[in-house]
Structure 1
Amino acid sequence: MLFASVSMLAALATLYVQGLLPASAPSADEPFHYQGFEKVLRHVQPDGDVDFSSMGRERAELDRFVASLASFSPHNRPDVFPTSEDALAFWLNTYHALVLQQVVDGYPYLESVEQPWPGRFFWARSWPVGGRRMTLWSLRHRVLSGEFADPRVHLALFHATRGGPRMDSSHFQPEYLHSQLNEASRRFIGDKRNVRLDRDTVHLARLFETYREDFLAALPEGRRGNVLQFVWAFLPDTCEERPGCDTRADLDHACGPKLDRCHIVFEAEDTSLPDAAARPSRTER
C-alpha cells in the first residue's frame, strides 16, 4: 500500500513538472493579444536589465496577460496560432511573462534564481496555460526544446539571470520572429561575457555546453563536431557596433579554418538577477 502511494505521488510529481496535468481553460472575454505584455516590456532597459521595482508597481498589465494564458495556447486553440511562427512566438512570450511574474512576486527579496535552492525557480510553481498546468521547466524542455528544433531559442530565452540571454523591450512577433531570433543570437554571441577569445582559448558561456547537441544538430553535414561552427555563424564581421568585440576573422585566425585548434573553456553563469536597480549585496546591508 505504501509503495503504491509513493509510486502514485512520484507519477503525479513527474506529470506536474512536465506540465501534463490538466487545468481549466475558461472562455476568453476577448481575442488573444500581446498589447498588455508589450506595455510590461517598457520596463526593460536598453542594456537588457529590467526595472523590476517599477514593473511591480505597475503589474496589472502583466497579471492580466498571464491570466489570459489560461484560455489560449497552440495546443488547445490551433485556430488562433495557425503557423509554427505563431506558436513559437506564443511560447516564447509566455515563458518570459511567467518568469517576469515570478520575479516580481519575489521582489525585492529574490536576488537570484538559485534561491532558495538551484532549480526550484523553474519547477516549483505552475500556471494554467491552454488547458494544462505548465511549469517553466516544462515550457522550456518539453515544449520549446521538444516541439521546436531551433537552437536560437536557447540564446533568446530570458531566464532572469545576469549571465544568461538578455530580455528585449519588444515581444516576439510571428511576422518578425526569425529576424528577432537572429538578432538575439548575435547579441548573445557578440557579448564578451559569453564568447571571448584569449589566444588559443575560447571562453564560452556554459549554455553552449548544456545544449551542445542542439547547436550541433543545426549545423550542415560535415560541421557538426564543433560548437564553434555555430558560434562563428553569429559573430560579427566587424566591431563597429561593439568596439573590442571578437569577429569571425579573429576566430578563424585563432582556431584555424576548421575551428579545431582552440581549447574551449565553458564559464559558469552569473545567476544574479539582471536588476536595473542598484541594490547592495547581503554583506553590505
Structure 2
Amino acid sequence: MRAVDAPPSLARRLRMPAVLFAVTALAVATTALYVQGLLPASVPSASEPFHYNGYAQVLRHVKADGDVDFASVGHERKVLDGFVESLASFSPHNRPDVFPTPEDALAYWLNAYNALVLQQVVDGYPYLESVRQPWLGRFFWGRAWPVGGERLTLWALENRVLRTEYADPRIHFALFQGARGGPRLDGAHFQPEYLDAQLNDASRRFMADKHHVDLDGDTVHLALLFDTYRDDFLRALPEGRRGSVLQFVWAFLPDTCDERPGCATRSDLDRACGPKLDRCKIVFEQEDWTLPDAAAREPRP
C-alpha cells in the first residue's frame, strides 16, 4: 500500500516552526557576535599618523571635580568625531607597529573606550539624563564602532579586550562610564610613558571618594563596582591576601584626607577591621547613574 502524502497546507504548517527556529537561531548568533565584537569591519586608509591631539583638546572640558561640560564637548563635535574615526584605521590588533609596547596598547584601548562613551553621551545630550535610560543596558552593547578591522561595542572593548588581554584591575577605575557615581575623567588622556602613575592616580581618586569607600563603625560601605569585578581585584592580590576585596581597597586608600575631607584612610580601615581586615562587614552600595554633567539642569517632569 502506498503512503499518502501530507496535504500541501499541512506540509507548510510543519515547515514553519523549523524555519522560525532557524531564523531565530541565526538572529541570536549574529547578535552574540555583534555584542562580543567578533564581526569584521573595513579598515580605511589613514590620512595622517595616529595621534591623540583631538581627543586631548576635547578633554579640556572636563572640570577639576570630574564633571563634564557636555555642551562644550558638543560644540567641538567634529574634533571628537575625527579622533573616533581614526580608531577605524589604527588599533594594537591591526597595527602593532604603531603600539609596540603593552603601555602603548593599553593607553590606546582606555582612551578609545572613554572617547566612545563621550561621543555616545553627546549624541543623546541634553535629553539623555542617564546611561541607564536605554533599556537593558543597551548603552554599552547596542552600538558598535569600527576599530582596527573589528566592530566593537563598549561591552566587547571592556570585557573581551581590556579584561582578557590586560590582567590589571586598575582599569576599572580608568574607564569612564558616563555616570556620576562611577570613575571620572580627569582632563588628561592616558599616555604610555605615564600610564602606571595615571592608573594609580585613578585608583586613588576613586578610593578617596566617600561615596565609594565609607566607614561606619565596623561596616565598610563600598561601591558596587567592587562586587561586580571582585574576582579581578582578588586575582591581583598576593597569595595569602585574597580573602577580601578590602585588601585591594587598602592599597589605594590615602594616608590623610587633607584633599578629601571625610574620606577613609588606611589607618581608619586598620582600626575598624583589624590588621587582617577581617573584622568588618561589607555592604555594597548602588551607584549614582546620573550623568556627571557640569551644567545644572532642572529634572525633567
- TM-score exceeds 0.5: yes
Could you tell me the TM-score, scaled by structure 2's length? 0.93
Query: 1:106-150: per-residue Cα shift (whole Å, max 9, x none)?
Result: 000000001132411001111100001110110011111111110
Instruction: List gaps (5 residues or longer) in structure 1.
Output: none
Please say if 1:55 is aligned against 2:55.
no
Once the two structures are TM-superposed, the CA of residue 241 in structure 1 deviates from its matched residue by 2.1
Please say if 1:262 is aligned against 2:280.
yes
Q: Distance in 2 between matches of 1:149 and 1:234?
A: 17
For 1:9-158, list aligned pairs within 5 A. 9-158=27-176
Q: Distance in 1 between matches of 2:22 and 2:264?
A: 57
SS of structure 2 residue aligned to 1:128: strand
What is the match of residue 212 of structure 1?
230
Q: Distance in 2 between matches of 1:67 and 1:179?
A: 28
- Count of residue pairs brought into register by the alignment: 283
Letter matched to residue 62 of structure 2: V
Once the two structures are TM-superposed, the CA of residue 244 in structure 1 deviates from its matched residue by 2.3
Please say if 1:278 is aligned against 2:281.
no
SS of structure 2 residue aligned to 1:119: helix
Once the two structures are TM-superposed, the CA of residue 74 in structure 1 deviates from its matched residue by 0.4
Query: 1:26-54: per-residue Cα shift (whole Å, max 9, x none)?
Result: 11000000011000000100000000011
Once the two structures are TM-superposed, the CA of residue 218 in structure 1 deviates from its matched residue by 0.3
Letter matched to residue 220 of structure 1: P
Q: 1:163 aligns with which of 168, 181, 189?
A: 181
For 1:182-193, list aligned pairs within 5 A. 182-193=200-211
- Which stretches of structure 1, 4 residues or longer, exceed 4 Å deviation after superposition? none
Please say if 1:234 is aligned against 2:252.
yes
Please say if 1:196 is aligned against 2:214.
yes
SS of structure 2 residue aligned to 1:140: helix
Q: Distance in 2 between matches of 1:48 and 1:108?
A: 18
Q: Distance in 2 between matches of 1:2 and 1:116?
A: 28
What is the match of residue 7 of structure 2?
none
Q: 2:242 aligns with which of 224, 232, 246?
A: 224
Deviates more, 1:236-245 or 1:250-259: 236-245
Letter matched to residue 69 of structure 2: D
SS of structure 2 residue aligned to 1:186: helix
Once the two structures are TM-superposed, the CA of residue 243 in structure 1 deviates from its matched residue by 2.3
Q: Distance in 2 between matches of 1:236 and 1:101?
A: 33
Aligned Cα root-mean-square deviation (Å): 0.8
Once the two structures are TM-superposed, the CA of residue 57 in structure 1 deviates from its matched residue by 1.3
When Rg is computed on C-alpha atoms for both structures, the one with the higher figure is 2
Letter matched to residue 210 of structure 2: K
SS of structure 1 residue aligned to 2:135: coil
- Counting aligned pairs with the same residue, the percent is 74
Letter matched to residue 170 of structure 1: A
